[in-house]
Structure 1
């Protein structure tokens, strides 16, 4: 193992959109996208809407000025900022000083604000869904309000080509992005061996009715509204493919059957903070095991582990050396997801069967 540069991760945000759906084992669907072939790692790679933070667009101080002009109380923005000692770097205060610097007019630096803007902008860029509030809707509720937009395709291309156009769109439509309906859900980072990795915050939001979609063809091959269990089944059949964060988050949701209970849980849990999940890779005989925070073999500064750690034995032998397990194997797909510790931050336990492939 050798020291790695801890600033090589590209900051991004993703949005898990939950919509009511009757007459199913789970009474809600969520939105996932098949990446277009030129942008996918493998064919039929399936992700939540989202993308990279654009500092010029998402951290523009003009957003603060616009919120004030629009009538958004400063306290409504402050409520989004979590004051926890152990925030992951992606959500820690940017710059120096206290959180109050966010409310000066020099720079937007609170990532709870800027990454919500990223998630909402990318959602509009990729599938044409604009989640926003007009002046008579500033009750800052926990349900998102999709807005029908004239000239949606033209605006989508403008924002896709130049992210700063998102602010112009909001000004012209006399709306503000619905930051308050986005609930902090989780954070994932690529293993340190990935040369151009991502550090991503996942937000969750809820809609009462299914919004219409407009797929951006250079990024999205197909959009799918399905239950978590249905997505996991398609993955098991090889019809879609997930990186570990998508598989893990769907496995968390697989045991939740009710839209209302998930909404209540996500709303309350979002104030408890987030632990960064950066997998550490162990090479065992015949398999690669990824360990996550809380596992006995997880190291305190994974961002500095620049390589795969060798274990002299099989994955089963590796398991017997560990009392506290939080790990999975990752080959053609994620398998053997195990967790026998309390989930951090009051979160959901993934639905899994120890030592076996995920059963649905």
Structure 2
């Protein structure tokens, strides 16, 4: 891991989508899920896992987020060389080489980890982190037998399901000491299924306050598609509950203010609305996996009567942006929200119109990605877009 970072920690997050033709849930949530099913829209044939953070959490308390967390030194441990020994002679352990020029690629991906004593490429270590954190927070384990070839894991996959009691013990041990994730893989003769994870995005936490203790993360976002929903159990520590929602259901929950979903998750859930089928989503993620991604830090610009959440490319996005946040500069514009909506221009922003979050985007996405799409399923499934 990069021990020289001063303003943020490296982290990894996993967007986990699963087909709904099958699946199971723990009994204590059966009645709740049955109620949700009555309201469920049938457009999507998959759901996405969102976990609710504890209200005691020091980072985004009570927020519904994708599983993930900060990188641990063990994710870059050279002990992984033995676990991945059948793949270490391939570029990025069989992941391949991203086509994005290194000059435009996020520092977290292009940093040479050998200068920190690690032989584990960042593209590998961040996926290990996302898989480990998903296991800790939800009990879902994405590993494959160590005898598998990398190219056999390019289709829709299933989570690892073995003796529940044994896996529960390993989950506690990994939570208490991430180094035990390596020991678990060695004992079970398995490897983290890094090949099932596809690069999706990279978000940088803004500076929320002048407090030097404010947590900031440089987070790699990955996506993985499962054939069916695995057994899911929250950890009752960092995560106090979970929901498998279709992308539209999650967005509807956010719009009714029943849940809080942070902007990066809301943005990416809206991106997922472009794909109503799990196979289409998987195909897109697989085909785009080596294209690369942009590194985005949201910036709030204060208008006269509200806030504009801007992203790179928006004409209000600051050209003199201080990503470190040390200047504590406040960005503002002497215009109303309505005026900004009418003026148009280069748009890559999130506004709250009549209390509802709405994207205004007219930029072409880079690296063969897609822009957010908002579906209004209450109007005969017609598509509404702000693209």
TM-score normalised to structure 1 length:
0.86
Instruction: Name the structure 1 match of 2:10.
Output: 11
Instruction: Name the structure 2 match of 1:118.
Output: 129
Decide which of 192, 199, 205 is 2:207's aligned counterpart: 192
In structure 2, list runs of 5 or more residues that go unmatched. Answer: 22-40, 376-382
Matched ranges for 1:25-174 at <5 A: 25-39=43-57, 44-54=62-72, 56-68=73-85, 71-72=86-87, 74-75=89-90, 77-82=93-98, 84-85=101-102, 86-94=104-112, 106-108=117-119, 110-140=121-151, 141-142=153-154, 143-150=156-163, 151-174=166-189
**Post-superposition shift, 1:342?**
0.7
Change over 3 Å in CA distance of 1:82–1:334 after alignment to 2: farther
- Kept in 1, the 8 Å contact 2:205–2:218? The answer is yes
Separation of aligned partners in 1, 2:289 and 2:68? 19
Change over 3 Å in CA distance of 1:173–1:301 after alignment to 2: farther
Name the SS for the 1:345 alignment partner. coil
In structure 1, list runs of 5 or more residues that go unmatched. Answer: 96-100
1:313-354 deviation per Cα after TM superposition (whole angstroms, max 9, x unaligned): 21233455652100113699872311011112211111149x
Stretch moving more, 317-326 or 266-275: 317-326
Matched ranges for 1:281-320 at <5 A: 281-299=300-318, 302=321, 303-304=323-324, 306-319=328-341
Kindly tell me the number of residue pairs found equivalent between the two proteins. 342
Separation of aligned partners in 1, 2:107 and 2:6? 10
Change over 3 Å in CA distance of 1:92–1:209 after alignment to 2: same
Separation of aligned partners in 2, 1:225 and 1:51? 19
Separation of aligned partners in 2, 1:109 and 1:301? 35
**Post-superposition shift, 1:79?**
3.1
Name the SS for the 1:74 alignment partner. coil
Name the SS for the 2:334 alignment partner. strand
Change over 3 Å in CA distance of 1:334–1:159 after alignment to 2: farther
RMSD of the alignment, in Å?
A: 2.8
**Post-superposition shift, 1:182?**
0.2
